[in-house]
A and B are shown apart, each in its own frame.
Chain A
Amino acid sequence: LAKTTQPISMDSYEGQEVNITCSHNNIATNDYITWYQQFPSQGPRFIIQGYKTKVTNEVASLFIPADRKSSTLSLPRVSLSDTAVYYCLVGDTGGFKTIFGAGTRLFVKA
């Protein structure tokens, strides 16, 4: 399984765009990249998933360069309610073995 590395914490202000980058140098050909958000005392919530290039949904965008050794989660115009821990996971399509990295604690200030 590819190991992931993320910044431990980030601070932002309301209304700003936040970009969180995850490194996964040993990503395998079959691996997808998935991001989850977790609030205190709640289960992680799926944000976005991608394999290559760019993926966008109603809450975030995911940018994956051609070599796929990193990925960037982009949260447009964050609000106070986006304060949470964000996890980047890398795993293959048929495997269940899920390893969460340390995650990035995002703190959004007014």
Chain B
Amino acid sequence: DTEVTQTPKHLVMGMTNKKSLKCEQHMGHRAMYWYKQKAKKPPELMFVYSYEKLSINESVPSRFSPECPNSSLLNLHLHALQPEDSALYLCASSQDRSGLAGGDTQYFGPGTRLTVL
């Protein structure tokens, strides 16, 4: 199974709502990532978890709150978002080859299309 799944596929929320995006992988990967992608732009890294610990936070506003309950699951909690946060949110996972030779390949999910009204 080389699949990363994301739910929901589409999400529309108001600026006062609280919602969560979910990501799951069963490849035994120990690194998981959240990216944000605006239309016709490349994905931008937001957060990285390694072995369930937050490894990288790319100065993301606190209205985005990541959570890694276990090695297979990654959540992104959303609160008080702005219309400019509307984007495709991508989750990815990788084996985490820290200290090992060889590149670490990321596997991406299909994304959640988020619209903030």
A90, closest chain B residue (CB): B103
Residues of A within 8 A of B100 (CB): 93-94
**Interface 1/0s, chain B 87-117, versus A by CB < 8 A?**
0101110101111111111111111010000
Contact check, B111 vs A98: say whether CB atoms are below 8 A apart.
no
Q: How far is the CA of A34 from the CA of B99 in the complex (A)?
A: 18
Count of chain A residues with Cβ under 8 Å from any Cβ of B?
22
Residues of A within 8 A of B69 (CB): none
* Given A49-B103, A94-B99, A43-B45 contact (CB < 8 Å): no
Main secondary structure of the interface of A (DSSP, over half): loop
CB distance from A62 to the nearest CB of B (A): 12
Residues of B within 8 A of A97 (CB): 45, 48, 56
Contact check, A103 vs B42: say whether CB atoms are below 8 A apart.
yes
Q: Assign chain B's interface to a size class.
A: 20 to 34
Residues of B within 8 A of A51 (CB): 103
Question: Which of B31, B91, B97, B109 contacts A93, CB < 8 Å?
Answer: B97
**Interface 1/0s, chain B 72-92, versus A by CB < 8 A?**
000000000000000010111
Q: How far is the CA of A101 from the CA of B43 in the complex (A)?
A: 9
What are some 17 contacts across the A-B interface (CB < 8 A)?
A32-B102, A34-B103, A44-B108, A46-B105, A49-B105, A51-B103, A93-B99, A93-B103, A96-B48, A96-B56, A96-B96, A96-B104, A97-B45, A97-B48, A99-B45, A102-B42, A103-B42
